[in-house]
Amino acid sequence: EKITVSVIKADIGSVAGHSTVPDEIKALAEKKLNEAKEKGIIIDFRVFNAGDDLELVMTHRKGVDSEEIHGLAWETFKACAEKAKELKLYAAGQDLLKEAFSGNVRGLGPGVAEMEFTERPAEPIIVFMMDKTEPGAFNLPIFRMFADPFNTAGLVIDPSMHQGFRFEVWDIKEHKRVMLSTPEEMYDLLALIGSKGRYVIKRVYPKEGGKLPADEPVAVVSTEKLFEIAGEYVGKDDPVAIVRAQSGLPAVGEVLEAFAFPHLVSGWMRGSHNGPLMPVPFRYSKCTRFDGPPRVIAAGFQLCNGKLIGPVDMFDDPAFDYTRQKAMEICDYIRRHGPFEPHRLPHEEMEYTTLPKVLKKLEARFEKI
Ligand code: F6R
Ligand code: MG
Ligand code: MG
């Protein structure tokens, strides 16, 4: 029998400003999910916050897009948003963009990463949760994990990984998708996913004939577009991802190695700036400097018949101190550009922020030259 891991997240309000989720809210989410666990709707759960986002990690046997599981997440977010309003938290209810639930949370505001697969005799998974950035921020690290031999030694030396992987890439503007295989189509893959605001890796699959079933994903990323739902800027789509590891997949250390380089991602202050992605322990999962910098936390688990053994706070290690130090050097450098590109996002991407409202006022004052 297959297991489903669902990570569903929403920003339903935070303290102070857009910095972090208070304990009262996480406790309420835990209470709701515990009730569902007692009723047997889910097998297990954990609640996290990535900065101002509330993440529900749930295991169950109901498959992806289950109305019951999505409904549970929706009701949990609604209850948390109510509490957030009571506490007058900042931007209470922010990501709950629609009133009524109709089958699943996609298109309603929350972000979703979920996958159904056959649990192996030992099944390590890492849940990554980011704040102050967008789904494309996962393109580079997911590529590194599953396609870059300079990151993942197993691609070269493990016969069960040597054949490579398949990537499902979404064009989030045109709502289309394409499957590409690595290593043979690596350059095509990079041609797309280098444009991380438009092409995002949605899932990774094993190839046919390997150790793992080719139709069961080994990684999945949330790709919801809040802007398209709301029609105006309501914050970035701070993304989450689930990655399976070991035994024919990248080792846990190869999965984490992909975050040792603090690459530039878009988001940060007002969802309008490029800045480095900083891997941090859970206790630093709050945004401070210039509402950032963009951050990622990693929760490591072993699955045990759907039960979650863990979490292990994977970035809580001096091994990532240098990355954090480097990230802060990059912050200092790029911040000195102030309102100039490429710190500020390119003009086309500013379309999804509050800048057009400012530019509109100037329209009438332009004269022909
Ligand atoms: C970025 C983010 C924050 C806000 C900023 C302004 O995703 O959430 O940087 O954009 O704090 O917020 P408002 O306009 O609510 O004062
Ligand atoms: Mg917020
Ligand atoms: Mg956020």
pLDDT of residue 318: 98
Looking at the chain, how many residues does it have?
A: 369
- 360 φ, ψ to 5°? -60, -40
- Band (pLDDT 50/70/90 cuts) for residue 225 is confident
| For ligand 1, atom 2: residue with the closest CA | 270
Name which of 175, 163, 135, 94 is nearest 267 in CA terms: 135
Beta bridge partners of 50: 53
User: What are the tokens at 13?
Assistant: 């309000």
Catalytic residue positions, numbered: 11, 233, 236
Question: Do the strands 273-276 and 3-10 form a parallel or antiparallel pair, or are they unpaired?
Answer: unpaired
Percentage with pLDDT > 90 across the chain: 89
Alpha carbon distances (Å) from 47 to 129, 137, 174, 318? 11, 22, 33, 25
Enumerate long-range contacts of 120-123, CB under 8 Å, 24 or more apart.
120/212, 120/247, 122/246, 122/247, 122/302, 123/244, 123/302, 123/303
Ligand 1, pocket-test mutation among 291, 295, 350, most atoms within 8 A of CB: 291
Q: Is the pLDDT of residue 155 over 90?
A: yes
- Band (pLDDT 50/70/90 cuts) for residue 351 is confident
Shortest-distance atom of ligand 1 to CA 235:
7
Mapped onto helix, strand or coil, the DSSP state of residue 340 is coil
Cβ < 5 A residues, ion ligand 3: 11, 52-53, 131, 238
- Residue-wise pLDDT for 25-39, tens only, equals 999 999 999 999 999
Quick one: which ligand is closest to 14's CA? 2
Quick one: which ligand is closest to 53's CA? 3
pLDDT of residue 304: 98
Alpha carbon distances (Å) from 104 to 59, 101, 266? 16, 7, 28
Alpha carbon distances (Å) from 223 to 99, 139, 173, 193, 318? 21, 11, 11, 13, 31
The average pLDDT across 119-135 equals: 97
pLDDT of residue 276: 98
| For ligand 1, atom 12: residue with the closest CA | 270
ipTM score above 0.90 = yes
User: What are the tokens at 319?
Assistant: 């091994």
Q: Is the pLDDT of residue 110 over 80?
A: yes
CA distance 286 to 303: 28
Cβ atoms of 147 and 155 within 8 Å: the answer is yes
- Residue-wise pLDDT for 283-297, tens only, equals 999 999 999 999 999
DSSP label of 289 = B
Q: Is the pLDDT of residue 230 over 80?
A: no
Quick one: which ligand is closest to 54's CA? 3
Q: How far is the CA of 16 from the centre of ligand 2 (A)?
A: 10
Shortest-distance atom of ligand 1 to CA 269:
9
Summary mean pLDDT of the chain: 95
| For ligand 1, atom 13: residue with the closest CA | 270
Within the chain, residue ranges assigned H as helices are 23-38, 67-86, 139-147, 154-157, 186-193, 226-230, 252-257, 321-335, 347-350, 355-362
Shortest-distance atom of ligand 1 to CA 131:
7
pTM value? 0.97
pLDDT of residue 223: 87
- Band (pLDDT 50/70/90 cuts) for residue 134 is very high
Cβ atoms of 287 and 132 within 8 Å: the answer is yes
Name which of 219, 239, 149, 154 is nearest 186 in CA terms: 149
Cβ atoms within 10 A of the Cβ of 184, count?
11
Cβ contacts of 40 within 8 Å, gap of 6 or more: none
User: What are the tokens at 286?
Assistant: 């709050």
| For ligand 1, atom 14: residue with the closest CA | 270
Give the chain's radius of gyration (CA, Å): 20
